[in-house]
Structure formats: structure tokens, C-alpha cells
Structure 1
Amino acid sequence: MRSTSARDRRNRFEDSEALRALLNRLHQAGRGAWRDDPEAAALMRHAADKYAALARKHGLDPWEAASAAFEAMRGAATRRAEDPWAVVTRAVQVTCIGEERGNGLLVSVHQARRPRYSVFHDAERFSDRENPLSDYHPAFHADPFADHEEPEDSPAEPVTTVAAAVEDTIAFFSLLGWEPGTARAAVEYVTARLAEAASRSSAFEGLRRDRQARALLDLPGASWSALLRIVLGTPDPAFAHTNAGRGVLLRLLIGEPLRALLLDDGLVLAAGLAAPGIERR
């Protein structure tokens, strides 16, 4: 009996003209028709069943696909289309792809649909990588801000893991007035871009001009610039061999503890003053 009922419902709604007639009737019924009409509820159950496989393909719940179908069905273009179901199916497909990309990029569906955001790869944490970044990325093997040879007594490899250095960097900003969520998002974004760059200097320059990142993180220009200098180091070659030139991340990677950074008065002052929301007189 149940399978017969489902088959009848599917046959009733799959006809494009029957769907058009129902959509026109719901539209003419005015406000509240979709909420109160039993046939509208049956249509949405049918949409959830129809697009369940598509939703699962993109890691979504079938009712998320049904919600996208609902939005498409309310549009006048769907009612006037030669094949209303074709319009609805395409709308659901686009929404599912946008939802999947938005979840991967940690942005809204509206932003994920824009080419300037969709070109990025999905967000990932350093802990997701099988091998530590410091094992293979040249940015951590030498100071890229100037052509020079490292002193003989300098460590050949970082003495702490990248993941630990990233967490300590986040903790450093959080202890100095940065909202923890903002600090984590900003530092992880910077380190992710660093992983893709040829050197710290190229990562610094790319991030300095990255207005989209500032918009996503909702950071003022002064805070963003200060964070880059603190995390990656000052790009001026004159500071290449100084703590200011190395940056917090590299200092942590070569074994300097977090407590030592918190005793650096100049560094602490710069990070504290750059915290978003700090009023400057």
C-alpha cells in the first residue's frame, strides 16, 4: 500500500503540466498557500525523494535539496518554463554544488558561487597532512627575505612541529586581545597561503594585496598588515637576521618558546595595538 501511494504521488507530480498547474494554483492562492495546502506538502516530500541522490552526492541532506527546489518553484520563471522540472532540477544542482563548495571553503553559498572565491581549494588544517609542512616546504628551510647562508650553528630543521607552532601563534594573538575565533581564522589562512607559496616573501606580498582575505576575515587594514608582519616577519632585507625579520611562526619553529615571545615588549605592543576593536587615540 505504501509503495503504491508513493508511486501514485510520483506519477502525479512528474508530469510537467501537472506541476505547472499546481504551481499556478499555489501562486494564485496567495500568502500561506504553501504552508497550509496538503498537496504542496506532498510535492515537497516528492522533491526530497527525487533529489535525495543528488543531495547525498554533495554531502547534503535530501531536505536541503528540497528547500532549493521550493525556492525555485516559487519563481515565475519556473511556472512559465517549457519544462518546469528542468528549471527546478538545474536550480537544485547549482545550489547543491554551491553548498558543497561553501562548506569546503568555509564561506557562504553566495560567495562560493563567485569565481573569485571558487578558484580556491577547500580549507584544510596542517594536522590533516600526513607529513609536516616543514619536511618539504622550502619556506621553512632558509630565510627567503635575503640571499645569505645560514650560520653553521643554526638548526638544520625546525625543532617543533608546524601544527604546534601554528597553535602557539594563535594563542599568542588570543592572549593579546584578539578574539580567539578571529585569531585562529586569520593565522590558519596565512599559513595555508604560505604552504602554497614559493617563499615567505612571496606569501607576504600576495597576502598584503589580498583584499578578499581581509573581507572574509573582517579585519581592518592596519590589523591585517600588522598580523602579516608579526606572523611572517618584516620583509625588509635589513631585518633579515633579526627577530622582526624572522616572524613569530619561524621563531617558534626554530625552538623559541611562546613565553619568550610574550617577553618581547615590542612584539607584544605591536600585536596588542593591532587587535581589531582596539580604540586608538
Structure 2
Amino acid sequence: MTQSSSREQRDRFEDSEALRSLLTRLHEAGRGAWRDDPEAAALMRHAAEKYAALARKHGLDPWEAASAAFEAMRGAATRRADDPWAVVTRAVQVTCIGEERGNGLLCSVHQARRPRYSVFHDAERFSDRENPLPDYHPAFRIDPFADDQSDAPGEDDELLLERTMNVASAVEDTIAFFCLLGWAPDIARGTVEYVTGRLTESVSRASAFETLRRDRQARALLDLPSTSWTTMLRVVLGNPDPALAHTNVGRGLLVRLLIGEPLRALLRDDDLVLTAGLAAPDVRGDRL
């Protein structure tokens, strides 16, 4: 095949209507069409070239991206879409992110796509860091305001257990708050658990807010629109503006629950309820 004809074929594949026609023809041809049709082979070579940069960005081989494109192209939703290439590209992007997270978490791609698993950080060896484990792991942190002397055996353990239970209760109330305002339970739980997980690794709520706000990979894994993601962060962690630090807007939902405000009182906060309710993602549309 000459360079000119190769370029013509590539330009033809990039046309959405031409792609739709080819996918429809391969679908109607039945079993074996993708394996035996020379145009199908050329299409997959084009997909490997098209998504090579995206694959390398996530540490994958271009043909792994082409494989994800192949799976998307076989779906009826792709043939019926206004822009088939947009559907294929999104499917490849989600698959690449899932593959990268699966490799980092040492689990399957199927698990890595689920919010309950994606909240964890990538596996790492103790030797991967220059600093010793006690310098950075929260399990070895000491509360400088804690009393060194306990009046009774086990008192420190009881205090630690009480704090842990309070945090867990606040997280569950936060999830319930969003569910009551129209957020799908799985989305609310996955997002809140991800945010609180990252909060434990940050030096402050403001730092966690800024880090999470720029975390596009997390938003893609949780499948949240940008507006819903940013609003969720602002509601849960509070507005990071220093001028609002001592207001309810600045404290955020999680802190207000931890300092003793009951969930029923928060549900009477009209501004908070309206903000969280309007940001609820629309789950009626089809998802990849």
C-alpha cells in the first residue's frame, strides 16, 4: 500500500459516518467478519496508531488501547451514537485508566473501576521512600496534646476507639446526607470514602481540597461531572477561603458533624441542602 493510499484510508476512517458504515457492515456480516475482513484489520491498525499516545500516558502498549477500541466498536451503542469515534475514545480512556489503576493496586481492572477499591493508593514497597516508615505513616503519629499518663489501664485505647467511631459515624452521616438529596447511593459512598481517604493523607483540609480538585483521574474513575465533583468537595471539606474558616461554609459538612451537629440539623440548612441537591449527577443516561 502506497503512502498516499494509506493516508486516504486513514482520513476515511476518521470520518464518523464512514466508521459507522463499516461497523454496521461488519456487524451484519456475522461471525468471523472482524477476523477475515481486510478493512477491519486496517481499522485496528489505525486505532492502535490513534490511541498510542494515550496508551503510553498510562503505561500501556498501543495494542492494549486498540483492544479496548475493538470492544467498544462491537457495541450497538457505538453504531447508533451521533459520533462513534467519541464513544470509542471515551471507552479507551476509561479502560486505560482502569488498567493503570489495576496495575498500581495489584488487582483486576474490574475491581479497579469500582469506587470501593479505587479509593486506595497504589501499592508501594517500604524501600520506595527515602524516609523511614514511622516518619510518614499515620499509624505512627503521636498526638502532641495527648496526656502521657493514663489514670487507668486501657484508657488511651478507649479514647482512640471513641475517636475512630466518631469519624466513622460522621462519614456515614455524610453519605446519608447526599443520598437523601438525590445522589445515587453507590456514587455518594464511593465519592465520600475517596475524599475522606485522601483527607487522612493531607496536612490540612485546604490542602486536601486543592489536591482533590485537580485529581482528574479520580473524577473519571468515579464518573462524576466537573460541577458535581467540585461541589461535593466544597460541601464535604468546606470552602478553603481563609476568610470563611470560622463559618459553617468554611468548616464543611464533615467538620460540622464531628463537632456535634446532628444530621437532621444539617438537613435544615437551606443553602447547604440546595447546593448539594442541585449538584447531584444525572444517573439516567447510559454509562460506558
TM-score when scaled to structure 2?
0.48
Larger Rg: 1
TM-score when scaled to structure 1?
0.49
